[in-house]
Amino acid sequence: MRVLFLGVRGSTPAPGSEFVHYGGHTSCVAVAHDDAVAPTLVLDAGTGIRLLSDRLPGRDFSGVILLTHLHWDHVQGLPFFGKGDQPTSDIDVYLPAQDGLGGRDQLARFLAPPAFPILPEGLQGHWRFHAINPGLLELDGFHVSAFEVEHKGGRTFGYRVTDVSGSIAYVPDHAAVSRPASLAGFLRDVDLLIHDAQFLDVEREVAARFGHSTVTDSIELGVDVGARHVVLFHHAPARTDAEMESMERGIEGPMPVTVAREGMTLTVGTRD
Ligand SMILES: [Zn+2]
Ligand SMILES: [Zn+2]
């Protein structure tokens, strides 16, 4: 499985010269099977999804988009995904069920005038919007487990994605300090844990207030569940490259720990 990091920021994009090394786009990760030419599964649709078009052959996208939740930094790129907004695109979008609304109607709470010029059905191509509960999905050769995580402001899922070569868990927004015991079952022995590390340890109080995790929370969670590799993700928008590099130098873990960077590709689960 190839995992392509297209947006690694949390909260809001971070443009500017102080952010070019780690990148300023918000959360988006694209996943491809080992033998596939291009990604067919996308995790979140932050502004980073704009970069996916350049990674796709042809004119359109056929595949799946899994949204963890509907905060701006995870959905704002959706109508700007060029190869999704094509007459021949074919896309299934999955998002957490809440408030008794279907998937289309949840998106239409912000993808609608006056907040935005078009409704979800204004996107070109074949889009289907599915509101789901925690459970298992079989999608394009991927086994997907959707599970609920603690965050603030709306229902939030994490996703574990497995194919024949390996597994990843994508948990970009998560207050890991208050994790229930059941969470470990969803993350157990995962090859790659991509996890919320928006805050530093000295920012513990604000992390708790906003429903996020610290760098140490992420690594400790990785240790607890036996993750083989931890990727620190959803970086604070104000954290400059210099500050990120300083943070990266201080990281220690019993397993490999990588600070997510826009444009980075990781190959996962090449089992021996
Ligand atoms: Zn977020
Ligand atoms: Zn969030």
Q: Using DSSP, how many helices (H) and how many strands (E) does the chain show?
A: 6, 14
In angstroms, the CA 234 to CA 236 distance is: 7
In angstroms, the CA 45 to CA 66 distance is: 8
In angstroms, the CA 24 to CA 6 distance is: 10
Ligand nearest to the CA of 96: 2
Ligand nearest to the CA of 74: 1
Spans of the chain, pLDDT less than 70 = 270-272
Ligand nearest to the CA of 211: 2
Residue 254 Cα to ligand 1 middle (Å)? 27
Ligand nearest to the CA of 70: 2
Ligand nearest to the CA of 12: 1
Residue 171 Cα to ligand 1 middle (Å)? 10
Residue 73 tokens read as: 């930094």
pLDDT of 181? 82
Amino acid at 129: F
In angstroms, the CA 255 to CA 62 distance is: 35
Ligand nearest to the CA of 69: 2
pLDDT of 271? 54
Residue 203 tokens read as: 């920012």
Question: Residues 132, 136, 138, 144: is their CA dihedral positive or negative?
Answer: positive
Ligand nearest to the CA of 71: 2
Count CB atoms within 10 A of the CB of residue 54: 9
Backbone torsions φ then ψ of 100, nearest 5 degrees = 70, 15
15, 7 in Cβ contact below 8 A? no
Residue 235 Cα to ligand 1 middle (Å)? 9
Best CA proximity match to 217, nearest among 187, 149, 160, 208 = 208
Backbone torsions φ then ψ of 263, nearest 5 degrees = 95, -10
Ligand nearest to the CA of 28: 1
For domain 2-267, give the CATH superfamily.
Ribonuclease Z/Hydroxyacylglutathione hydrolase-like (3.60.15.10)
Residue 10 Cα to ligand 1 middle (Å)? 5
Residue 220 tokens read as: 């400790």
Residue 232 Cα to ligand 2 middle (Å)? 15
Residue 26 Cα to ligand 1 middle (Å)? 8
pLDDT of 269? 79
Ligand nearest to the CA of 210: 2
Phi-psi region of 66 (alpha: psi -120 to 50; beta: other; left: phi over 0): beta
- 201, exposed or middle or buried, with CB in 10 Å at 0-12, 13-18, 19+? exposed
pLDDT of 24? 98
Residue 257 tokens read as: 């720990």
pLDDT of 13? 98
Residue 69 Cα to ligand 2 middle (Å)? 7
Parse the chain into domains and list their residue ranges: 2-267
Residue 164 Cα to ligand 2 middle (Å)? 30
pLDDT of 272? 46
Helix H, strand E, coil C: the string for 206-218 is HHHHHCCCEHHHH
